Amino acid sequence: MQMNPETQAPAGQSKLGPQTSILLVILIISAILIGLYWRSRYGGDITEGDSQRMTADINNVYTSETINPSNGAIYVSGFGFPVIMTFISHLTNLSVHDLQLDSPIWFGPLILIAFLAYRELLRSAIAALTACFLLMLMPDFVFYIMRLSHEKATWMFALLLVYLLARSYRMTSLRAVTVNGILFYLVFWAMASTNVFFSSTLLTATAFSFVACQLLLRLNRFIQFSINISVITRFILITLTGFVVIYSVIAYIYPPAKSYYYYLPIFQNRLQTLFIGEQSTQIISSAGIAPALTWRSSLTYLLLTIPQWTIVLISAASWIAIAWSLVRKKFNSQLLLIWLLYGAVTFQALIAIVIDTGGFLLIENLTVRLFTTLALFAAPLASHLIIRVLTTLMNRERRVQMLSVVALTIVVAFSSLFMLLKIVNDPVVSNLWIFYLPQQVAGVAWLEDHLVNQQVYVDLFPIKRDAFLFDNPTDNQTLNYYFSGSTESINRFSYILTSQITQYQANLTHATLPMTVSYDQIYDNGDVKIYRFRPRNPFQQ
């Protein structure tokens, strides 16, 4: 492979100096502060369906003292995160509920691991710091780290894998390569144990990278691409060994993960429908309707996510620029790994968009799930191009330098604000709120104490039921049936729980709430009221 000396990282550029160390500490503290903001924005009264279910899964592992409880809630995609949280709970003597509420501060250690991985990929400490900062500005990545799910641990493992993989390419000692390889497969086993879906996604990306290497070698006479055979061999070994690890987790270590196979025949049948045309499918992707439903307007959603999509577009431009340097025979071999992996995860994201749009799986948010993977590799590639542009601007006249600094400061300030507003679904911009009030939980608790097997309307969104189960993680199921959503048609529920917040949300979204004209009020705690359907004959008493 021919390399342009001007594009190689200067010697020692990847080393940590005093200023770089200070900037890294500032980034880590900022990430922790973002976690504390999430924790304190609503006084800790914040949850949603996945967070509530994960908390119940962890609590079940904690109380049953096994990774595969025979009864109760269980996370089918992996046991790693419940085991980690159970261990920390025993170590600190803190409850699972409190540990979950404090888990967003994991964002700090994640940024540290991201810096190590990006420094190995880019061979530049400054570029790695910039990449970490860009990662912190993408709300659709930060949200999934903040919420109380497995993803904070999953992506820590993923970044560790990238770090070990990138580090291995510069090793020449057999002992160092062996130790690094053992650590790599141990971390991959930990990631597969935490979530088989995301681990297989990352593994598939390495397989695509191997295929890309083969295609580039076949185009050798046009671009004069060459690569060490050890790189290709490593891709093959990682792919084959990784799939063995995933299979062993699913088939032998954690049987609940076999539900992962459930989607394979569904996907096959939907592909057959797509290409043969046996029948049309009209499934609307949740990704398509979410902006209009969740946010005050589509324009609001666009403004909140402009910085994020700008970073993605910059990363795409950077990938194209590197590809063009390959054609011009000025390719920087130090960027090979990030270039291959970014192309692979982008290809996966495009497939996810097709799947979501066509409804080929029962999972309707595959694009959203894979965006976190794309964000991990978009940040360093965007950083590479941004650093080059800023270096050019800083070499211009002083007026250009000052304008660049002012513009950059404004962009960073607004991007940070938009990120904070979006990750907490702030009521200023959002219609789908993920906070709750103690009075709402008290209302559901009263229903659970006094009723059994009754149909109860609770909210436009199931936040009240989720909040009750989150505050009471030992209760895996509720005693009553709770319904939510807009009631466009006339529906009769045995009981209706309503609150001032629900009425305000209904006004914002133009939703229809059930009428309480034929109901008697039986409960009022100041914010929440409960109504019972008025009996019309003795059999309805």
In this structure, the strands spanning 455-459 and 519-524 are unpaired
Q: What is the DSSP secondary structure assignment for residue 457, as one 8-state letter?
A: E
Cα separation, 527 vs 439, in Å, equals 6
Strands 495-499 and 455-459, by their bridges, are parallel
Instruction: Identify the CA nearest to 107 among candidates 38, 43, 160.
Output: 38
Lowest mean pLDDT among 1-5, 71-75, 499-503: 1-5
Alpha helix (H) ranges present in 462-539? 463-471, 500-509
CA angle 58/62/64 to nearest 5° reads 115
Each residue's pLDDT tens digit, 249-303:
988 999 888 877 766 655 555 554 444 444 433 333 333 345 556 788 888 888 8
pLDDT for residue 541 is more than 80: no
Q: pTM of the predicted model, to two decimals? A: 0.87
Of 55-59, 232-236, 427-431, 502-506, the poorest mean pLDDT is in 232-236
Tokens of 92: 């600190």
pLDDT (tens digit per residue) in 384-434: 999 999 888 888 778 888 888 888 899 999 999 999 999 988 888 888 888
Under a CB-based contact definition with an 8 Å cutoff, are residues 135 and 111 in contact? yes
pLDDT at residue 4 above 80? no
Listed residue (310, 528, 330, 305) closest to 429, CA to CA: 305
Burial environment of residue 375 by CB neighbours within 10 A (0 to 12, 13 to 18, 19 or more): buried
Half-sphere exposure in the Cβ direction for 480 (13 Å, CA): 25
Cβ 375 vs Cβ 386: under 8 Å: no
d(CA 68, CA 73): 10
**466-488 pLDDT, tens per residue?**
889 888 877 678 889 998 887 75
What pLDDT does 186 receive?
A: 94
> How would you label 83-106 residue by residue, b for 16+ Cβ within 10 Å and e otherwise?
bbbbeebeeeeeebbebbbbbbbb
Backbone dihedral angles phi then psi of residue 417, each to the nearest 5 degrees: -65, -45
> Looking at 31-45, 66-80, 211-225, 321-335, which range is the least confident one?
211-225
pLDDT tens digits, 429-452? 888 888 888 899 999 999 999 999
Task: Answer yes or no: is pLDDT of 83 > 70.
Answer: yes
**pLDDT on residue 367:** 61
